Amino acid sequence: MKQKSKLTDVEIRTILRAADEIIGKAGRTLLVKILKGSKEQKIRELGLDQCPCYGAFREQTKEEILLKVDWMIQHDFLEIQVNGKLPMLVFTEKGWRIERDQMVDELLEEWNRWLEQGVRPASMEYLKDRNRGMILLFLQKIKESNDSRYVPFLRAWQAIEYRKVRQAIQDVIECLEEGTGSSLSTAAERKAELAQALQAKQLEPEYLKCWECGERFSFDVDEQKFYKLRGFVPPKRCPACRERKWLREMGIDDD
């Protein structure tokens, strides 16, 4: 089959949004089914038909959709990771940056809808345990809006959050009440404070012990950030053992 030419920005965002539903949990086949709008029971059971991008590529064949998913992998928006025996999709740093941004916009649009309709959500629990980087960006955008109508939502959210996020929410509430949210210098200062509050423990290079060979290996700051961003736990094996494990799983002999 002919190689798919460049995807549009909308296609890229659509695929990333659909992938978000199954990231780290499933592979390409399930992603194709979401985009195709598959009627399979499994899709309904997992609630994947509720995804805003469910059926977004309904008009295309599964083969065409798969080519687009593969294009995303080839162009470093998504990656396949072999976990045990199952290949799973994960975001690359580039892909996650885009997806995080559009998830934040989605969250903000929802708040705006509630404001327009004059409703209050029954619970803010849905915001708990979300990716920390995304939540920070969400708070940042709320603050920059300088719109104090968000304060009641923030208070309800604050009530159910963990301490560190609670503190970050408090900063935003104070900003909105003072009406200083959009002031540029303040925004920049607050952003730095916010980052500090949430990074109470500064990242330093770590030396981890490999579970397999027992050797120490360095887990440097960039790697730590990368793992954190994707929500991964730190590696258990040193790079050499990781590669051997991967070769074993791929059924390739190593000597």
Q: Which is nearer to Zn ion, 75 or 242 (CB)?
A: 242
Who contacts 89 (Cβ-Cβ below 8 Å, separation ≥6)? 19, 22, 23, 24, 26, 27, 28, 31, 78, 79, 80, 81
Residues 109-168 that bind Zn ion (CB under 5 A): none
Quote the least distance from Cβ 208 to Zn ion, whole Å.
10
**CA–CA distance from 193 to each of 28, 151, 201, 227 (Å)?**
40, 20, 13, 23
Q: Tell me the three state secondary structure of residue 2.
A: coil
Q: Which is nearer to Zn ion, 110 or 215 (CB)?
A: 215
Quote the least distance from Cβ 214 to Zn ion, whole Å.
7
Q: Which is nearer to Zn ion, 193 or 212 (CB)?
A: 212
For position 247 contacting Zn ion by CB under 5 A, the verdict is no
Torsion, Cα of 187, 193, 129, 114 (10° steps): -20
Q: Which is nearer to Zn ion, 90 or 238 (CB)?
A: 238
Distance CA 89, CA 84 (A): 13
End-to-end CA distance of the chain: 37
Distance CA 3, CA 138 (A): 37
Number of residues that bind Zn ion (CB under 5 A): 5
Quote the least distance from Cβ 240 to Zn ion, whole Å.
6
What is the contact mask toward Zn ion in residues 223 to 242, using x (rule: CB under 5 A)?
---------------x--x-
Residues 180-219 that bind Zn ion (CB under 5 A): 210, 212-213
Binding site for Zn ion (CB under 5 A): 210, 212-213, 238, 241
